């Protein structure tokens, strides 16, 4: 019997438990497309929310936007993508951008492209941000959004696809020619390199599987002077997870945009440091990092050791027996108490699941497999003493907790700073 590889196990779990489904599956699928199921979508939004809070909402020097997916052909001509964004195909250069037409009438249509990167949406809005908010340099423009690349051979599950989400920002700094800008790019490049490592740790990617690769000069993108790839040891090999690029003034210069410093009375074209994070690759690296096979109570099990703030379901609530109405009623009361917003204005733990399907052991295994950190069981003792059993995913240890203390205890466990 041939055993499944780790990659096959992850793909199987992802589909079976509602993380990721093949795109257009009932019609045979569409290569390079994947649909996120309820748990995958929840996990994806947790990743986005964590990134936005860390790199945008918590900072005073970052401005978030959400730019259009369709962009004018002139944008891509100026940025160099029409000429350089290509892959070799049978001895020729094949442009991997998706091209379309906007407009209903043949003679009045405009050629547009679905963006292959987020960066240009931030560059073309540079003047708008400066005019609206008058930011002091250095500052960044950030966004999360969908991108499209007509990959010749999409492969390796979520790794190389034709439609994907990125989290990215452009951090604008003084050029070396300006006062105080002599070593700015090196300083901020190093600053954001360290911040990317902080993110890797915070989100729960296995740091031992991440390696920095200095991209050789002959392999740099047309806009880059220096790029570091953060590579991850995926089950199919060491591949790029994130990127950190020094884009110089390539984009703003080509879009004929500049910056006027009101303090120094200088006008110049800022240079740019660009950290890029792929959401699909993040999710894949997290599934790989978190996938554990062990034994608990003499039985083999599979569980996802996801960090609680990233796990799609934070808490699962069970009645010990589904055929005992008094247990089911009490379990639903506890479930509602945890999940719903109480009258005092504090938010509940919204990603809480009610589960009474199968025996208690099967429920524990099912929740372990989707990475739920804590399971709450309502038993007959609950009806007498008004307490419940709280089970820890990683250790399997159980502890009795009073119901009126339960929500606060869970919040401290789930949202604690690590």
**CATH code, 10:** 3.30.930.10
Tell me if 305 is assigned to some domain. Answer: no
- Last residue in a domain, options 270, 287, 304: 287
Q: Are residues 16 and 99 in the same domain?
A: yes
Tell me if 301 is assigned to some domain. Answer: no
Q: Are residues 205 and 324 in the same domain?
A: no
What proportion of the chain, given as a percentage, has pLDDT over 90?
81
Supply 73's token pair: 């052909």
Domain count, the chain: 2
| 8 A C-beta contact, residue 52 and residue 144 | yes
The region of weakest confidence among 150-164, 169-183, 247-261 is: 169-183
| 8 A C-beta contact, residue 378 and residue 388 | yes
Q: Is 75 helix (H, G, I), strand (E, B) or coil?
A: helix
CATH number at residue 318: 3.40.50.800
Tell me if 296 is assigned to some domain. Answer: no
Distance, in Å, from the CA atom of 232 to the CA atom of 216, rounded to the nearest integer, reads 18
What local confidence, expressed as pLDDT, does residue 109 receive? Answer: 75
Tell me if 141 is assigned to some domain. Answer: yes
What proportion of the chain, given as a percentage, has pLDDT over 70?
95
Q: Are residues 45 and 136 in the same domain?
A: yes
Q: Are residues 21 and 144 in the same domain?
A: yes
What is the chain's mean pLDDT, rounded? 93
The residues with which 19 forms a beta bridge, in sequence order, are: none
Tell me if 267 is assigned to some domain. Answer: yes
Q: Are residues 274 and 405 in the same domain?
A: no
Q: Are residues 255 and 404 in the same domain?
A: no
Q: Are residues 218 and 253 in the same domain?
A: yes
Q: Are residues 160 and 45 in the same domain?
A: yes
Residue 352 CA: distances (Å) to CA of 42, 245, 386, 417: 12, 39, 20, 20
Tell me if 70 is assigned to some domain. Answer: yes
Range of the domain at 169: 6-287
Q: Is 297 helix (H, G, I), strand (E, B) or coil?
A: coil
What local confidence, expressed as pLDDT, does residue 1 receive? Answer: 38
Q: Is the pLDDT of residue 134 over 60?
A: yes
Q: Are residues 272 and 366 in the same domain?
A: no
Q: Are residues 250 and 328 in the same domain?
A: no
Tell me if 399 is assigned to some domain. Answer: yes
Q: Are residues 228 and 330 in the same domain?
A: no
What DSSP assignment string belongs to 179-227?
TT-TTHHHHHHHHHHHHHHHHHHHHT--GGGEEEEE--GGGS-TT-SEE
How much is the pTM? Answer: 0.93
Distance, in Å, from the CA atom of 162 to the CA atom of 145, rounded to the nearest integer, reads 14
Q: Are residues 257 and 354 in the same domain?
A: no
Tell me if 181 is assigned to some domain. Answer: yes
Rounded to an integer, the average pLDDT of 98-110 is 79
Distance, in Å, from the CA atom of 163 to the CA atom of 386, rounded to the nearest integer, reads 50
């Amino acid at each position: 019997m041939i055993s499944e590889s780790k990659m096959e196990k992850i793909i199987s779990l992802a589909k079976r438990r509602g993380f990721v489904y093949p795109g257009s599956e009932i019609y045979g699928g569409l290569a390079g497309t994947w649909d996120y199921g309820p748990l995958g979508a929840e996990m994806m939004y947790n990743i986005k929310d964590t990134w936005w809070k860390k790199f945008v909402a918590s900072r005073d020097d970052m401005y978030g936007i959400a730019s259009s997916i369709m962009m004018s052909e002139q944008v891509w001509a100026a940025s160099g993508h029409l000429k350089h964004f290509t892959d070799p195909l049978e001895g020729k250069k094949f442009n991997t951008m998706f091209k379309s037409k906007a407009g209903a009438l043949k003679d009045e249509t405009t050629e547009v492209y679905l963006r292959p990167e987020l960066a240009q949406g931030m560059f073309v809005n540079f003047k708008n941000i400066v005019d609206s908010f008058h930011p002091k340099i250095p500052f960044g423009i950030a966004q999360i959004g969908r991108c499209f690349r007509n990959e010749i051979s999409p492969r390796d599950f979520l790794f190389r696809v034709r439609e994907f989400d990125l989290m990215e920002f452009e951090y604008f700094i003084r050029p070396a020619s300006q006062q105080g800008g002599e070593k700015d790019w090196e300083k901020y490049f190093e600053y954001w390199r360290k911040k990317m490592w902080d993110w890797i740790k915070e989100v729960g990617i296995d740091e031992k599987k991440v390696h920095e690769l200095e991209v050789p000069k002959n392999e740099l993108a047309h806009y880059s002077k220096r790029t570091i790839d953060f590579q991850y040891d995926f089950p199919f090999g060491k591949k790029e997870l994130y990127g950190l690029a020094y884009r110089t003034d390539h984009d703003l210069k080509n879009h004929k945009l500049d910056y006027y410093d009101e303090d120094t009375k200088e006008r110049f074209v800022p240079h740019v440091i660009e950290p890029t994070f792929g959401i699909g690759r993040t999710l894949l690296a997290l599934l790989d990092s978190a996938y554990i096979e062990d034994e608990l109570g003499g039985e083999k099990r599979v569980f996802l050791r996801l960090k609680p703030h990233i796990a799609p379901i934070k808490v699962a609530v069970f009645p010990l027996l589904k055929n005992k109405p008094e247990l089911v009623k009490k379990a639903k009361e506890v479930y509602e108490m945890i999940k719903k917003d109480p009258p005092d204005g504090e938010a509940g733990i919204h990603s809480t699941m009610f589960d009474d399907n199968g025996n208690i052991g099967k429920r524990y295994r099912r929740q372990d497999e989707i990475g739920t950190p804590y399971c709450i069981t309502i038993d007959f003792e609950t009806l007498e003493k008004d307490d419940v059993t709280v089970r820890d995913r990683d250790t399997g240890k159980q502890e009795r907790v009073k119901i009126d203390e339960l929500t606060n205890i869970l919040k401290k466990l789930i949202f604690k700073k690590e």
